[in-house]
Amino acid sequence: MTKVDFYILATAATDQRAQFACRLANKAFRQGLNVYLHTGSEDQGREIDSLLWEFRPQSFLPHGVLGEAASERVAVGWGDDPGEHHDLMINLDLSVPAFVGRFQRVAEIVSKDIPAIRQPLLQSWKWYEDRGYELKRTPVST
């Protein structure tokens, strides 16, 4: 069954979720995993795509927007189809996508001091818990 990690960020800066998602994607890529960064909208997806190009100038993380680039091990997308990805989904949407169960791991990133992010992700925790997913909380100091 899918394992779900909730990463709890210690900062209230709104851009820290995106920054942490990029760092997590880079780490997973270096471990040989395919990564799908799921966003809540095309605008958010385009922002993450841009950030992946510049978040770490000293190294390159090959990635692409799902459906626009050749098959990439790291893909950014929105909507109902994560393509061929199944290793790790980094969920930047504030709800649980219907296809969550196809992934081995899911990362949810919580900004604990931002109620507009914290509250929906508390509901996501409950959703996962009610369905028997293995959950883990990991505090992150940024």
Q: What is the CATH number of the domain that holds 73?
A: 3.40.50.10110
Q: Quick one: pLDDT at residue 71?
A: 66
User: Mean per-residue pLDDT for 69-98?
Assistant: 90
User: Mean per-residue pLDDT for 120-126?
Assistant: 96
> 3-17, 83-97, 118-132: lowest mean pLDDT where?
3-17
For the chain, the domain total comes to 1
3-9 and 105-111: which strand pairing? parallel
Question: Torsion over CA of 93, 94, 99 and 102, rounded to 10 degrees?
Answer: 80
Residue 107's pLDDT band (boundaries 50, 70, 90)? very high
Mean pLDDT of the chain: 91
pLDDT digits (tens, 9 = 90+) for 34-81: 999 999 999 999 999 999 988 877 777 889 898 886 667 899 999 888
Top-confidence residue, 20 or 141: 20
Give the Cα separation of 109 and 9 in Å (integer).
7
Top-confidence residue, 136 or 55: 136
- Of 98, 105, 91, nearest to 33 (Cα)? 105
The strands making up 88-91's β-sheet, listed across from edge to edge, are: 64-65, 74-78, 35-39, 88-91, 105-111, 3-9, 134-140
CA 4 to chain centre: 11
Can you tell me whether residue 75 is helix, strand or coil?
A: strand
The residue range of the domain holding 109 is 3-140
Residue pair 110/117 in contact by the 8 Å Cβ criterion: yes
Residue 122's pLDDT band (boundaries 50, 70, 90)? very high
Q: At what angle do helices 42-54 and 16-30 cross, to 10 degrees?
A: 60
**Can you give the pTM of this predicted structure?**
0.93
Give the Cα separation of 88 and 90 in Å (integer).
6
Residue pair 48/93 in contact by the 8 Å Cβ criterion: no
